[in-house]
Structure 1
Protein backbone atom coordinates (compact mmCIF):
# COMPACT_ATOMS: atom_id res chain seq x y z
CA UNK A 1 0.00 0.00 0.00
CA UNK A 2 1.56 3.28 -1.05
CA UNK A 3 1.23 6.52 0.86
CA UNK A 4 -1.13 7.92 -1.80
CA UNK A 5 -3.66 5.15 -1.02
CA UNK A 6 -4.22 6.34 2.54
CA UNK A 7 -6.26 9.06 4.17
CA UNK A 8 -4.44 12.24 5.10
CA UNK A 9 -4.98 14.50 8.09
CA UNK A 10 -5.59 18.13 7.11
CA UNK A 11 -5.45 21.00 9.55
CA UNK A 12 -8.37 23.39 9.46
CA UNK A 13 -7.40 26.98 10.19
CA UNK A 14 -9.30 28.41 13.15
CA UNK A 15 -10.70 25.05 14.22
CA UNK A 16 -9.81 22.69 17.05
CA UNK A 17 -10.37 19.58 14.99
CA UNK A 18 -8.53 18.24 12.00
CA UNK A 19 -10.20 16.85 8.90
CA UNK A 20 -9.54 13.54 7.16
CA UNK A 21 -9.40 13.29 3.40
CA UNK A 22 -11.83 10.78 1.86
CA UNK A 23 -10.72 7.16 1.93
CA UNK A 24 -9.81 5.63 -1.42
CA UNK A 25 -12.75 3.97 -3.14
CA UNK A 26 -15.41 5.92 -1.21
CA UNK A 27 -17.78 8.73 -2.12
CA UNK A 28 -18.96 11.71 -0.11
CA UNK A 29 -22.64 10.98 -0.73
CA UNK A 30 -24.44 9.30 2.17
CA UNK A 31 -26.29 6.03 1.58
CA UNK A 32 -30.08 6.37 1.99
CA UNK A 33 -31.46 4.52 5.01
CA UNK A 34 -33.95 2.52 2.95
CA UNK A 35 -31.28 1.29 0.54
CA UNK A 36 -29.94 -2.12 1.47
CA UNK A 37 -26.52 -3.42 0.64
CA UNK A 38 -25.46 -7.00 0.00
CA UNK A 39 -23.82 -7.21 3.43
CA UNK A 40 -27.01 -6.02 5.15
CA UNK A 41 -29.16 -8.60 3.40
CA UNK A 42 -26.63 -11.35 4.17
CA UNK A 43 -26.59 -10.39 7.86
CA UNK A 44 -30.40 -10.32 7.99
CA UNK A 45 -30.61 -13.75 6.37
CA UNK A 46 -28.05 -15.17 8.81
CA UNK A 47 -29.80 -13.71 11.85
CA UNK A 48 -33.22 -15.14 10.92
CA UNK A 49 -31.88 -18.69 10.78
CA UNK A 50 -30.75 -18.80 14.41
CA UNK A 51 -33.48 -17.03 16.36
CA UNK A 52 -34.38 -17.70 19.96
CA UNK A 53 -37.70 -17.48 21.78
CA UNK A 54 -37.24 -13.82 22.82
CA UNK A 55 -35.64 -12.40 19.66
CA UNK A 56 -38.79 -10.82 18.23
CA UNK A 57 -39.65 -9.20 21.56
CA UNK A 58 -36.10 -7.85 21.95
CA UNK A 59 -36.25 -6.27 18.48
CA UNK A 60 -39.55 -4.53 19.33
CA UNK A 61 -38.47 -3.27 22.78
CA UNK A 62 -37.39 0.35 22.97
CA UNK A 63 -35.03 1.45 25.74
CA UNK A 64 -36.20 4.23 28.07
CA UNK A 65 -35.04 7.73 27.23
CA UNK A 66 -33.43 9.72 29.99
Structure 2
Protein backbone atom coordinates (compact mmCIF):
# COMPACT_ATOMS: atom_id res chain seq x y z
CA UNK A 1 0.00 0.00 0.00
CA UNK A 2 1.58 3.29 -1.05
CA UNK A 3 0.80 6.64 0.50
CA UNK A 4 0.11 9.61 -1.69
CA UNK A 5 2.26 12.67 -0.95
CA UNK A 6 -0.71 15.09 -1.19
CA UNK A 7 -3.02 13.04 1.07
CA UNK A 8 -5.11 14.92 3.63
CA UNK A 9 -3.73 15.05 7.19
CA UNK A 10 -4.96 12.19 9.36
CA UNK A 11 -5.92 11.87 12.98
CA UNK A 12 -3.22 10.78 15.38
CA UNK A 13 -3.49 8.57 18.45
CA UNK A 14 -2.39 10.46 21.57
CA UNK A 15 -1.54 8.74 24.83
CA UNK A 16 -3.15 10.30 27.89
CA UNK A 17 -0.96 10.14 31.02
CA UNK A 18 -2.65 8.30 33.89
CA UNK A 19 -5.37 6.89 31.64
CA UNK A 20 -5.86 3.43 30.20
CA UNK A 21 -7.35 4.80 27.00
CA UNK A 22 -5.79 6.82 24.25
CA UNK A 23 -7.61 9.54 22.35
CA UNK A 24 -7.66 10.73 18.78
CA UNK A 25 -6.80 14.23 17.66
CA UNK A 26 -9.73 16.09 16.08
CA UNK A 27 -10.29 15.72 12.36
CA UNK A 28 -8.98 18.79 10.52
CA UNK A 29 -11.86 21.14 9.78
CA UNK A 30 -14.19 19.66 12.42
CA UNK A 31 -15.57 21.14 15.64
CA UNK A 32 -14.19 19.12 18.59
CA UNK A 33 -16.73 20.56 21.05
CA UNK A 34 -19.59 18.13 21.80
CA UNK A 35 -23.13 19.13 21.00
CA UNK A 36 -25.26 20.13 23.95
CA UNK A 37 -28.54 18.33 24.35
CA UNK A 38 -31.74 20.28 24.71
CA UNK A 39 -33.21 19.46 28.14
CA UNK A 40 -36.52 17.64 27.93
CA UNK A 41 -39.51 19.16 29.71
CA UNK A 42 -40.66 15.79 31.02
CA UNK A 43 -37.90 13.49 32.27
CA UNK A 44 -40.18 10.89 33.88
CA UNK A 45 -41.07 7.52 32.40
CA UNK A 46 -43.25 7.72 29.33
CA UNK A 47 -46.57 5.94 29.48
CA UNK A 48 -48.77 5.21 26.50
CA UNK A 49 -51.82 7.36 26.05
CA UNK A 50 -55.12 5.54 25.90
CA UNK A 51 -57.06 2.91 27.79
CA UNK A 52 -55.31 1.31 30.76
CA UNK A 53 -55.04 -2.47 30.89
CA UNK A 54 -55.41 -4.67 33.99
CA UNK A 55 -51.66 -5.21 34.50
CA UNK A 56 -50.21 -1.91 33.21
CA UNK A 57 -49.23 -0.69 36.69
CA UNK A 58 -47.31 -3.88 37.42
CA UNK A 59 -45.52 -3.81 34.06
CA UNK A 60 -44.41 -0.22 34.67
CA UNK A 61 -43.10 -1.05 38.15
CA UNK A 62 -41.32 -4.31 37.20
CA UNK A 63 -37.59 -4.01 36.64
CA UNK A 64 -35.98 -6.53 34.29
CA UNK A 65 -33.18 -8.63 35.76
CA UNK A 66 -29.65 -7.45 35.13
CA UNK A 67 -27.67 -9.94 33.07
Q: TM-score, normalised by structure 2?
A: 0.39
Structure 1 or 2: more helix by fraction = 1
Q: Which is higher, the Rg of structure 1 or of structure 2? A: 2
